[in-house]
Structure 1
Amino acid sequence: MAKKKEVTVEEKLRALYDLQLIDSRVDEIRNVRGELPLEVEDLEDEVAGMNKRLEKLQDDLESTDTEIKNKLILIEDAKEAIKKYSKQQENVRNNREFNALAKEVEFQELEIQLAEKHIKEFKAQIEQKNEVIEETKARLEEREAHLGHKKSELNAILKETEKEEKSLLEKSKEYEGQIEERLVKAYKRIRTNVKNGLAVVAIERGASGGSYFTIPPQVQMEIASRKKIITDEHSGRILVDEQLAVEEQEKMQRIFTKI
């Protein structure tokens, strides 16, 4: 059985830096999208809420219209009742019967007055609701147009970047598989805790990339020797020398161009 080739520290550093370059490219793509997906989602919720409100207002209008029709029927019935009681008054035998019928007429007249008052109130409600409906429709039209614009914007970005992001995520998994699990976990933990997700950075002008704290010359020499994995004492980032970083950037740029 062939002995498994031992991975050198330098190879681990190169693989970690390659993984960082891939993940940073994914971050860039997602930053281009920015808050757009959330904006679209919020606008969709807002439009759905306004449509629901319009439906309720429309239902209220229909219900109020039914109430008016019922009151108009009640008025007609009351008028018929007044005619009937007034006719009966012509044939009464005594004042008691006449007064009883007069009370019925009076009651029906009050019913008519009350119904007419309610109809007036209902019509005022309808007028008010129609104003709200028109305002809501105008607002809805504006929000739908804004939503359409934002969706087009998002779709254009997705169309442009979706394929690349998918390929990069697959490439990220591939490179993770080349690194021991312990280092991958450490890399992900650092990425979560530091600004811009930079867990592996190069030495730039004698300082740690991303934090800019000066690295002592002796430590710089150790980093350049690529014999062990060294982290920045200030930020916890894994450090690589500038030459390694340039080589890997050029290599990964060729890979990115093909994606």
Structure 2
Amino acid sequence: MAKNKEVTVEERLRALYDLQLIDSRIDEIRNVRGELPLEVRDLEDEVAGLSIRLDKLVASLQLIDNDILAKKNLIEDAKSLIKKYSEQQKNVRNNREFNSLTKEVEFQELEIELAEKHIKEFKAQIEQKKLVIAETKERLKERENHLKHKKNELNDILGETEKEEQALIQKSEEYKEQIEERLVSAYTRIRNNVKNGLAVVAIERGASGGSFFTIPPQIQVEIAARKKVITDEHSGRILVDAQLAEEQKEKMQKLFSKLS
């Protein structure tokens, strides 16, 4: 049904309902995936964050080891100075020199005491960080396993539906090309404004599909006549009669069977 060819209202309605059935089928496929793609992305971000945290924790352990080594070197230097000053005390000429060297020895002993205290604190930090690292590793492993499971689940669904989805998206575009732009724009606007994406609905038990609002008998007759495009005054949806809807469903079901 080319755009430059004069088409009847009924042909427009059938094309619009076909388009609706195609887009609804795409919606169904995407609903099967649900929140899985988002879950996978969130898990990937979480795993990346935990990996970065683990790397930082391991790096901080190395820094503490370096601090401990520096304190141990300081202790060795202090011991050497104590030994040196103690030897010098044996050869002093007066009490003033002896007392001065005694103060130097006492200072180095305090340096050793302070360094040993720091080493003890550093070792306590290492033990604490090791616990955090173990917990982080366990959490990372659990999240990686969960991510692997969710990716497999998503891949299985994509493997089953991706080909059909892409074919349906192409069909949807083809059908839009066959319908005048004014109607496509109206269809798209309505579809974006309703939760279930239904812009074209059939009359069901005297009411528009998915609605509790009754369509007046005269309007139902006009809809069944297929002489003009009629919308539901309450929801704005385009209305078609049940028979037309059933005919198009049978037609499109055959198409879906070929694509799936």
What TM bracket, shorter-length normalisation? over 0.9
> What fraction of aligned residue pairs are identical, expressed as a percent?
77
- For the residue of structure 2 that corresponds to 1:195, the secondary structure is coil
Alpha-carbon distance between aligned partners in 2 of 1:18 and 1:199, rounded to the nearest angstrom: 12
| Matching residue's letter, 1:58 | V
Which residue does the alignment assign to 1:116? Answer: 116
1:211, distance to aligned residue in structure 2 (A): 1.2
Alpha-carbon distance between aligned partners in 2 of 1:97 and 1:251, rounded to the nearest angstrom: 111
| Matching residue's letter, 1:79 | K
Which residue does the alignment assign to 1:99? Answer: 99
| Matching residue's letter, 1:34 | G
| Matching residue's letter, 1:166 | Q
* 1:202 paired to 2:202: yes
- For the residue of structure 2 that corresponds to 1:227, the secondary structure is coil
1:117-176 per-position Cα deviation (integer Å, ceiling 9, x unaligned)? 100000000000000000111111111111111000000001110000000000000000
- For the residue of structure 2 that corresponds to 1:211, the secondary structure is coil
Which residue does the alignment assign to 1:43? Answer: 43
* 1:156 paired to 2:148: no
* 1:32 paired to 2:32: yes
- For the residue of structure 2 that corresponds to 1:235, the secondary structure is coil
1:206, distance to aligned residue in structure 2 (A): 1.0
The equivalences for 1:1-259 within 5 A come to 5-259=5-259
Consecutive aligned runs of 4 or more in structure 1 exceeding 2 Å deviation: none
Alpha-carbon distance between aligned partners in 2 of 1:246 and 1:43, rounded to the nearest angstrom: 43
Gaps of at least 5 residues in structure 2 are: none
Alpha-carbon distance between aligned partners in 2 of 1:194 and 1:82, rounded to the nearest angstrom: 86
1:213, distance to aligned residue in structure 2 (A): 1.2
**What is the TM-score normalised by the length of structure 1?**
0.98
1:194, distance to aligned residue in structure 2 (A): 1.1
Alpha-carbon distance between aligned partners in 2 of 1:75 and 1:38, rounded to the nearest angstrom: 56
1:5, distance to aligned residue in structure 2 (A): 3.1
**What is the TM-score normalised by the length of structure 2?**
0.97
Alpha-carbon distance between aligned partners in 2 of 1:34 and 1:166, rounded to the nearest angstrom: 17
**RMSD after superposition:** 0.7
| Matching residue's letter, 2:150 | K
1:210, distance to aligned residue in structure 2 (A): 1.4
| Matching residue's letter, 1:31 | N
Alpha-carbon distance between aligned partners in 2 of 1:256 and 1:91, rounded to the nearest angstrom: 105
1:251, distance to aligned residue in structure 2 (A): 0.5
1:195, distance to aligned residue in structure 2 (A): 2.3
- For the residue of structure 1 that corresponds to 2:201, the secondary structure is strand
- For the residue of structure 2 that corresponds to 1:203, the secondary structure is strand
Gaps of at least 5 residues in structure 1 are: none
1:84, distance to aligned residue in structure 2 (A): 0.4
Q: Report how many aligned residue pairs link the two structures.
A: 256
| Matching residue's letter, 2:171 | K
| Matching residue's letter, 1:61 | L
1:34, distance to aligned residue in structure 2 (A): 0.2
